[in-house]
Structure 1
Amino acid sequence: MSAPAGTPRTRRRLARTVTVLASCLAVLAAAVVLGARALGREPTVTLLANWTGADEQYFRKAVIGPFERKYHVHVDYQGSSAQSQVLSADVEAGTPPDVVVLTGPGELAAYADQGQLRPLEKLIPQGDFSKSWVTPRKGHVYWFPLKADLKSMVWYPPGVSAQQRQNAAKRPGQWCLGMGSGATSGWPGTDWIEDILLQQYGPGTYERWARGLLPWQSKEVKGAWTTWGTMVGAGGSRDLVLRALRTEYQEASELVRMHPPQCTLEHQASFIRNLDPWKEARGRYEHSARLVPGATTDDAWEVSGDLVALLHATPQAQDLIRHLASAETQRAWSTKEAGLSVSAHAQPTAGDSTPDWRRSLARTLLDPKAVHCFDASDAMPPPVRDAFAQATIDFLADPRQLDDLLKNLDSLGSAENLSWVTSVCDRT
């Protein structure tokens, strides 16, 4: 007599049958998908960006997944921290991705001038992004931001009063500074110098310099370098200089949670708030103009971001561009991303559950009364950008080199084959 349907033996047999069947169906489905892709029957779009590890997982979940489900298009994603080098090699080989995400408009401007990029103005509604994010080039828009970071910020622990911050800003050892960042080491120094110039001389001077129209040896630019050198102790205490040169930028704030703390202030972008030291310290920020000597403005902010560009205008790639530019996608990404960033989209993206400090970042980023200027080194042609980053390292070690460093940067910037952006600030 067979066992009744509800007995444990029957349930085990049924479970095994269901498990085997499910496994077979899964294998079959995977084979069908792979076969369809191999035969080119499933539309595919290639995407190159810099997100790896946890950030890539967030990106796939918050951005790629919804696109693939909505459009029934497979995204062949490549994440690399060396995406600039990867893109350069792919372009040279004639196999560039359909869509790319880079941090530098200066780099993208060069590709646009080479005819590698496709116009985006018909894919992005006018007014969704301000001028500093979608700078026209030769009558076309070639990039837009997927996410943004606010700069011109100084982070400090709660309980450190305004007067204590003023006192700490005058002591080089109180600045948390790490210059290391692999192949791009030195960029924290470029952020400092850019921001000092912006706060001391305003957006007009800053934009002229970022566009290659103001010499590096000018009194304004040289003054920004010397101000930075004084603030962080360039060429001073050997231990302090070595600490900055040997520390990776993401580890600089570790000194905040030592007992006693080894530094009090950090000049860094909004994403730094998501690192453990500032998380644990419940870090707060103030506008850098309050601590930069000789600052003349309090409404100018440096910004940066990840910029999307189109290299192949296939229907699938155009759909991906529309998806990445939408307020919904930008809201999802800025919420899910492992780092602390916000959307530069004109439509509000903060939800009711957004922390107050993050709401303040979004308000500042979208404040029509404030001036937003894109990171100057990111806007410069890559050879100048890279030399600038290296020069900050050399200057920190020995500020007596400054005149020679600035002369060399002027020489590099005068080359005729360089592509300079036409604007970096939303107003001057």
Structure 2
Amino acid sequence: MKRIQRRRGLTLAASVAGLGLVLTACSGGDSGDGGDGGTTGGAGEAAVDCSEFEEYGDLEGTTVTVYTSIVDPEAEQQRDSYAPFEQCTGATIEYEGSREFEAQLPVRLEAGNPPDIAYIPQPGFLASLVAEYPDVVQAAPEAVVDNANEYYSEEWVNYGTVDGTLYATPLGANVKSFVWYSPALFEENGYEIPATWQDLLDLTDQIVEDNPDAKPWCAGIESGDATGWPATDWLEDVVLRTAGPDVYDQWVNHEIPFDDPQIVAALEEAGGILKNEDYVNGGLGNVESIATAPWTEAGLPVIDGSCFLHRAANFYAANLEGYEVAEDGEIFAFYLPGPTEDEKPLLGGGEFVTAFSDRPEVQAFHAYLSSPQWANAKAESTPGGGWLSANSGLDRDLLTSPIDQLSFDLLTDDAYTFRFDGSDQMPGAVGAGAFWREMTAWISPGQDAQTTLTNIEAAWPTS
């Protein structure tokens, strides 16, 4: 897809939008009124260089409402990242996080009570909102378009685009194409990070040969009402590696059947690992134990050496509190390699900022959220790690976690071909229904690949 074209809207200087946030120590002589070269900040607040925010205009007395699925404790970090914008423009940001976000947002739009800004977690959800509420969802203004094209890859821009118009810009991001491992165990055994998919398979066989009391892989897909979703990530990553990004796009968009022979082959390839008793499930049980092993705990056997490899996203680090997550630590992750050293597909996800009002203060805040200013403010508001952005203007040094830094490197490296999580782009009945359910049945009781994918195909809505 081609980049979207610039549209008329709020005009902000691109150079200003690209400036980094400068926080300085707050002292008695440094407080100002936020004018030229001035700073502002009350007691307990860091002083902000408001000269960088002048192009957003004087928004004193205005309010922008934000509605999202992000709740505390992460919501507090979100609110903290808005402080520079509020201090320097005079606008107030009213934040509402809800666990019922996806169900309630359409209700609010239907009732004529939309928020000014919403954070949409799936491109498919965005497309459905644009189709159902074309007069409510707002096209991105010029400043937002400029930021999107300057700081994000074409793939990310396209995921916020519907029918050639940019509606949404990325917020946070994650990388799913990772394999977690023990650096110490790799060094002890003389193993190297695999550079290709075949290298990974060869490493798996080598681990079997060298370690009869362990297994190469551990996995778990139990996740309460969402049991099965980790298995969908496995299939998506393998489709990207065996069929390629173009076929992946056709599959996700249902331009080919869910049970197309290329997808069947990919699931059988994934089964070559996940359904092989010689390869799984280290420290947890047999193949069927994958269906009942909690996803949050399934990677822990890597640390005690019961298994050597665990495929999971960068955010798996949240389950490793108390362990050193680093290249020379107790556990870390490497990129799930592509079919060749030059082919580097990358699976990931994230949220998108969408506006339902074109008031100046809403457009200004959307522009802020699409800029490096906000990305840097958000990184500083998350000192414990666990957050990153695909915004190339983000200061990498502000990311305190090594896995977040590695994820950022992959997301902003043109050598990698990014694709958004497939199930998040599919209709809910498939992506969060039949896909989860049938992949669980594929593991236990051991349904075959063809039946699994044909059952999911039958669940695809006809209209």
Shorter chain as denominator, the TM-score bin is 0.7 to 0.9
Alignment of 1:85 with 2:133, yes or no, is no
**What is the rounded CA distance, in whole Å, between the counterparts of 1:129 and 1:271 in structure 2?**
21
Structure 1 residue 182: Cα displacement: 4.0
1:265 corresponds in structure 2 to 309
TM-aligned CA distance change 1:413 to 1:352, over 3 Å:
closer
Structure 1 residue 145: Cα displacement: 0.8
Residues 122-156 of structure 1: CA distance to partner in whole angstroms, max 9, x if unpaired?
24113322221121322210111112112211111
Alignment of 1:54 with 2:99, yes or no, is no
TM-aligned CA distance change 1:251 to 1:353, over 3 Å:
closer
**What is the rounded CA distance, in whole Å, between the counterparts of 2:438 and 2:336 in structure 1?**
23
Q: Does the 8 Å contact 1:47/1:99 carry over to 2? A: yes
Q: Which is further off, 240-249 or 377-386?
A: 240-249
Supply the AA of the counterpart residue of 1:153.
F
Structure 1 residue 240: Cα displacement: 3.5
Secondary structure of the residue aligned to 2:221 is coil
Q: Which is further off, 355-364 or 194-203?
A: 355-364
Supply the AA of the counterpart residue of 2:73.
A
Decide which of 214, 217, 229 is 2:256's aligned counterpart: 214
2:179 corresponds in structure 1 to 154
**What is the rounded CA distance, in whole Å, between the counterparts of 1:86 and 1:149 in structure 2?**
25
Structure 1 residue 174: Cα displacement: 4.2
TM-score, normalised with respect to structure 2? 0.71
Q: Does the 8 Å contact 1:272/1:278 carry over to 2? A: no
Alignment of 1:351 with 2:397, yes or no, is yes
**What is the rounded CA distance, in whole Å, between the counterparts of 1:139 and 1:262 in structure 2?**
50
Q: Does the 8 Å contact 2:105/2:114 carry over to 1? A: yes
**What is the rounded CA distance, in whole Å, between the counterparts of 1:360 and 1:189 in structure 2?**
23
**Alignment of structure 1 residues 53-202 onto 2, 5 Å:** 53-61=72-80, 63-114=81-132, 115=134, 116-124=136-144, 125=146, 126-135=149-158, 136-161=161-186, 162=191, 166-167=203-204, 174-202=216-244
1:301 corresponds in structure 2 to 346
Supply the AA of the counterpart residue of 1:280.
E
TM-aligned CA distance change 1:383 to 1:147, over 3 Å:
same
Decide which of 289, 292, 302 is 1:256's aligned counterpart: 302
Q: Does the 8 Å contact 2:176/2:312 carry over to 1? A: yes
Q: Does the 8 Å contact 1:178/1:244 carry over to 2? A: yes
User: Higher relative contact order by CA 8 Å / sep ≥ 6: 1 or 2?
Assistant: 1
TM-score, normalised with respect to structure 1? 0.76
**What is the rounded CA distance, in whole Å, between the counterparts of 2:79 and 2:358 in structure 1?**
22
2:275 corresponds in structure 1 to 233
Q: Does the 8 Å contact 1:168/1:264 carry over to 2? A: no
Residues 226-274 of structure 1: CA distance to partner in whole angstroms, max 9, x if unpaired?
22233123899894456433344233233334xx443332211112234
2:333 corresponds in structure 1 to 285
**What is the rounded CA distance, in whole Å, between the counterparts of 2:411 and 2:333 in structure 1?**
14
Secondary structure of the residue aligned to 1:289 is coil
**What is the rounded CA distance, in whole Å, between the counterparts of 1:169 and 1:288 in structure 2?**
17
Secondary structure of the residue aligned to 2:351 is strand
TM-aligned CA distance change 1:83 to 1:279, over 3 Å:
farther
Secondary structure of the residue aligned to 1:95 is coil
Q: Does the 8 Å contact 2:216/2:308 carry over to 1? A: yes
**What is the rounded CA distance, in whole Å, between the counterparts of 2:271 and 2:400 in structure 1?**
37
Structure 1 residue 357: Cα displacement: 5.2
Q: Which is further off, 394-403 or 167-176?
A: 167-176
Residues 251-302 of structure 1: CA distance to partner in whole angstroms, max 9, x if unpaired?
3233334xx4433322111122343258435322222126xxx779642111
Secondary structure of the residue aligned to 1:133 is helix
1:31 corresponds in structure 2 to none
1:28 corresponds in structure 2 to none
**What is the rounded CA distance, in whole Å, between the counterparts of 1:353 and 1:296 in structure 2?**
27
TM-aligned CA distance change 1:210 to 1:334, over 3 Å:
farther
2:454 corresponds in structure 1 to 407
TM-aligned CA distance change 1:413 to 1:296, over 3 Å:
farther
Structure 1 residue 88: Cα displacement: 3.3
**What is the rounded CA distance, in whole Å, between the counterparts of 2:98 and 2:140 in structure 1?**
24
Structure 1 residue 60: Cα displacement: 1.6
**Alignment of structure 1 residues 32-51 onto 2, 5 Å:** 42-51=61-70
Supply the AA of the counterpart residue of 1:269.
A
Structure 1 residue 397: Cα displacement: 1.2
Supply the AA of the counterpart residue of 1:191.
D
2:56 corresponds in structure 1 to none
**Alignment of structure 1 residues 387-406 onto 2, 5 Å:** 387-400=434-447, 402-406=449-453
Q: Which is further off, 225-234 or 379-388?
A: 225-234
Q: Which is further off, 92-101 or 149-158?
A: 92-101
**What is the rounded CA distance, in whole Å, between the counterparts of 2:340 and 2:415 in structure 1?**
18
Supply the AA of the counterpart residue of 1:370.
Y
**What is the rounded CA distance, in whole Å, between the counterparts of 2:343 and 2:232 in structure 1?**
20
> How many pairs align?
371
Q: Does the 8 Å contact 1:121/1:140 carry over to 2? A: no
